[in-house]
Structure 1
Amino acid sequence: MSDRIEKGDIVLINKSGKYHKQVGEVSEIDYNLFFVKIVIVKLGNQEANFEEKDLQLQTKKPSLQEIIVSVDKILEQVAQIPHLPTQEKVELPNRLKYLKLDIPKLDKQLIQKNFDSIDKILAATREVDSSASFWQEIDPNLEKISWWIRTSL
């Protein structure tokens, strides 16, 4: 794991003061007049600027390879969903496969469109059966993909 802090990473603020020990997501990287790396961290509904030395990396944003693995994991679980209507039984795996092919192309509109469709189908499916064990595998992977889309494109 690289210790370089990048956009999308989750960081802990070590600097004493108002934000001490808070955790946030890096929304931007900038440099000041003296070429010191300034990290803009989103903390709830506000943002604050910190020098990189004042932050501790908590979690790296997912890599391209991790996202493709997450899509594969969801694809495996989709086969186990018993109450999926016929149309969704075809559409959901196809959309997941298209998403997997689109991710390396980094085409934001295409990726977002497929992800939104996948999310919508899964949300409707969850209303029918939200307690099934396959959600324990689907949910964290869906969240990881969403995080990657939000911070990478």
Structure 2
Amino acid sequence: MDGRIEKGDIVLINKSGKYHQQVGEVSEIDYNIFFVKIVIVNLGNQEANFEEKDLQLQTKKPNLQEVIASVDKILEQVVQITSLPTREKVELPNRLKYLKLDIPKLDKQLIEKNFDSIDKIFAATREADSSASFWQEIDPNLEKISWWMRTSL
């Protein structure tokens, strides 16, 4: 794992004090007048600034290849969803394929539009069949795509 802390990474705060041992997501990177890297960490309902040396990297944000692999994993699961209406049986795999093609282009509007449509179809499907085993594969992959979108676009 690359040790450089970047926007979107999950970090643990090592600095003693108010935020010691808390985990947060990096929302911004800045530098002070002495060119020391300052990392702004989102800690739920507040943000705090830390020097990079006061943080320990927990999880790197997903990269492009991981996000595309997540779309593929979701596509594999879609065939197992028997409760999909006929229209969604066609639309969902198509939207996922378009999303996979759009991700490398980094077109925020296109990616968000497709992801929102996919999310709505899954939300309706979850109401019909929330206990199915395919959700164990779909949910973490949707979260990974959402995390990447939030931190990369």
1:14 deviation in Å?
A: 0.2
1:118 deviation in Å?
A: 0.3
TM-score by length of 2: 0.99
- 1:116 is matched with 116
Q: Which amino acid aligns with 2:102?
A: D
1:8 equivalent to 2:15? Answer no
Alpha-carbon RMSD: 0.3
Q: Which amino acid aligns with 1:60?
A: K
**Distance (Å, rounded) in 2 between the aligned partners of 1:98 and 1:9:** 27
1:24 equivalent to 2:41? Answer no
1:9 deviation in Å?
A: 0.1
1:152 deviation in Å?
A: 0.4
**Distance (Å, rounded) in 1 between the aligned partners of 2:71 and 2:136:** 14
1:68 deviation in Å?
A: 0.2
- 1:45 is matched with 45
1:12-46 Cα distance to aligned partner (Å, 9 max, x none): 00000000000000000000000000000000111
**Distance (Å, rounded) in 2 between the aligned partners of 1:34 and 1:111:** 38
Q: Which amino acid aligns with 1:132?
A: A
TM-score by length of 1: 0.99
**Distance (Å, rounded) in 1 between the aligned partners of 2:17 and 2:84:** 51
SS of structure 2 residue aligned to 1:89: helix
Task: Report how many residues are paired.
Answer: 153
**Distance (Å, rounded) in 2 between the aligned partners of 1:116 and 1:150:** 13
**Distance (Å, rounded) in 2 between the aligned partners of 1:99 and 1:54:** 37
1:51 deviation in Å?
A: 0.1
1:143 deviation in Å?
A: 0.4
Aligned sequence identity (%): 90
1:88 equivalent to 2:88? Answer yes
Unaligned runs of at least 5 residues, structure 2? none
**Distance (Å, rounded) in 1 between the aligned partners of 2:8 and 2:113:** 21
1:54 deviation in Å?
A: 0.1
